[in-house]
Amino acid sequence: MLHLDFLRIVAALGIVALHWRGSLALPDGPSALLEHRMDGLNQAVDLFFVISGAVIHHVYRGQMSTGRQVVTFLRKRLARLAPLHWATLLLYVVLGFVALKAGASPKSAARYDPSCILPNILFLQATGMCRSATYNFASWSISAELVVYMLAPLFLFLRSRAFWLPALLAGVCLVILCAIGPAGQNHTEWYRWTYDQGFWRAIPAFALGVSLDAARPLLRRLPHAATATFLAMGALVILSLMDEWRGAVVIMTYVVVALAIAADARGQAHRLVRTFAPMGQLTYSVYMLHLPMQTVLLSMIGERVLHLPPAAQNGLVLLAVPLLLACSYLSLFFFEQPLRRLMSGQRRSAPKAEPLLSVAP
């Protein structure tokens, strides 16, 4: 699954660029343009959902036919998501307590809403229980991911009857979501939802991913799938920078994943893919740590403590990228994996490692 891993790390870095753009010290004109044009990168999260469905099907098909198998699956998925999510949540709870005591602005106060601590602990932050994005707000997609994990047995059951049934369900969901129109607490289109019931974005994407992986024998027939994957990625980036085409961006994310699965099925992989695909293991860690690093390093230290001039601030943002990757590596192997083994009941010497899924995300 080299192409899927490659897509995951590229999408994760796209989310980092989206959220770190505000830390760049740019003139008003370029800053406003960057703020507006990069919003479409948020749709990279939908790519994570499709990939997650494909990988879950690839690894667990035929292994969720009993209640015990389902419970084991959910336990392992929770063990994969929970440690880093709870750790970053704790960090923001502490920061929020300090900010509120110091008289935080209304916007900051909304982010640190104490009533949203419990929903975040219980992975309910994408169900509309909070009035705004809170704490490590990128974790809304982790909440959505857990929702589709709970629905995974249904999707795999449908796939066992016919590989296209999950895709049909995805299509029905998309039609319903489009018919609803702008809704949610932000009164925006469904593909922009995050904390305001953003889990609906994950359901059709995950179901489609299940069908796409099941259709590998058909996708394998696509010629030049690896080249087509890169061309589709380029089209996706261009569409992401065009705000009026956000709906098309969602469809293109589905196309990109389908082509990547086809390329993997054909055994095609460019040197660039083989080089960067192993970094796909860091996707979840990068995704969950990039906002804490922005808050602590770029905002608190760089802007408020050191009062860096624009050039130095921009240099700090660039320096933070390899630092984020290093912290993600340390987090994965020295924090997340030991706790994952503990929570899932997996022995350290177990011969079969769990797949590194999610991000969300």
Residue 250 structural domain: 2-9+44-278
Residue 241 belongs to a domain: yes
Residue 170 belongs to a domain: yes
Residue 263 belongs to a domain: yes
DSSP 303: I
Residue 130 belongs to a domain: yes
Q: What is the rounded distance in angstroms from the CA atom of residue 313 to the CA atom of residue 316?
A: 5
Contact indicator for 205, 170 with CB cutoff of 8 Å: yes
pLDDT tens-digit series, residues 299-317: 999 988 999 998 999 999 9
pLDDT tens-digit series, residues 83-102: 999 999 999 999 988 877 77
pLDDT tens-digit series, residues 215-263: 999 999 999 999 999 999 999 988 888 766 777 888 999 999 999 999 9
> What pLDDT does residue 30 have?
67
pLDDT tens-digit series, residues 204-216: 999 999 999 999 9
The pTM of this model reads 0.91
The share of the chain scoring above pLDDT 90, in percent, equals 68
Q: What is the rounded distance in angstroms from the CA atom of residue 176 to the CA atom of residue 170?
A: 10
Average pLDDT over residues 20-37: 76
pLDDT tens-digit series, residues 46-86: 999 999 999 999 999 888 888 999 999 999 999 999 999 99
Q: How many CB atoms lie within 10 A of CB 79?
A: 20
Domain count, the chain: 1
Contact indicator for 291, 137 with CB cutoff of 8 Å: yes
